[in-house]
């Protein structure tokens, strides 16, 4: 189990790992998109550690998300705990920016990816136009 300081440092990366794992698998195209954005370093984790977190999310919740079009209470508790661990608004927006890149990298957004992504936006009170602006301002990467 992670100690609280480590968990706090990894919290933004854990949310992104959840978005990547929402459809029950880790797609190499999603990982390549995140590599191009230098997402792992920018979130303070290595690629290997990010893959471990993504696999944990698949084990904990991702594999079951693709079975339905809603979040069960247990899923909501898990997802909301991850989301609430990221208090910084700029980090939240950066995670959403990376999440948008990841879930669209394979050319389609699955229902489970959309479900978790939209819940993330709603929970964090981030509008899609804010994510679009973050993408435009982050064009350097």
Handedness of CA 73, 115, 80, 51 (dihedral sign): positive
56-89 b/e (C-beta count within 10 Å ≥ 16 → b): ebbeebbeebbeeeebeeebeebbeebbeebeee
| N-term to C-term CA, the chain | 33
Region 9-19: what's the mean pLDDT? 95
The torsion angles phi and psi of 74, rounded to 5 degrees, stand at -65, -35
Classified as helix, coil or strand, 138 is coil
**Which phi-psi region, left, alpha or beta, contains residue 109 (left: φ > 0; alpha: ψ -120 to 50)?**
beta
- What is the pTM (predicted TM-score) of this model? 0.88
pLDDT tens digits, one per residue of 85-96? 999 999 999 999
Residue 5: pLDDT over 90: no
- Report which DSSP code applies to 59: I
Q: Roughly what angle, to the nearest 10 degrees, separates helices 28-36 and 89-104?
A: 130
pLDDT band at 141 (very low <50, low <70, confident <90, very high): low
Region 131-141: what's the mean pLDDT? 83
Residues spanned by the domain of 35: 4-137
Q: Which CATH number is 94's domain given?
A: 1.10.3680
- How many structural domains compose the chain? 1
pLDDT tens digits, one per residue of 43-68? 999 999 999 999 998 888 765 655 55
């Amino acid at each position: 189990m992670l100690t609280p300081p480590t968990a706090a440092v990894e919290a933004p990366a854990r949310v992104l790992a959840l978005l990547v794992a929402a459809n029950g698998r880790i797609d190499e195209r999603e990982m390549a998109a995140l590599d191009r954005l230098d997402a792992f370093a920018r979130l303070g984790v290595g690629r290997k550690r990010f893959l471990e977190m993504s696999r944990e999310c698949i084990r904990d919740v991702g594999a079951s998300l693709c079975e339905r079009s809603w979040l069960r209470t247990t899923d909501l508790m898990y997802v909301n705990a991850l989301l609430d661990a990221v208090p910084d608004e700029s980090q939240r927006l950066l995670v959403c920016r990376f999440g948008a890149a990841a879930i669209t990298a394979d050319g389609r957004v699955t229902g489970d990816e959309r479900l978790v992504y939209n819940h993330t936006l709603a929970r964090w009170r981030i509008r899609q136009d804010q994510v679009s602006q973050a993408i435009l301002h982050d064009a350097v990467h």
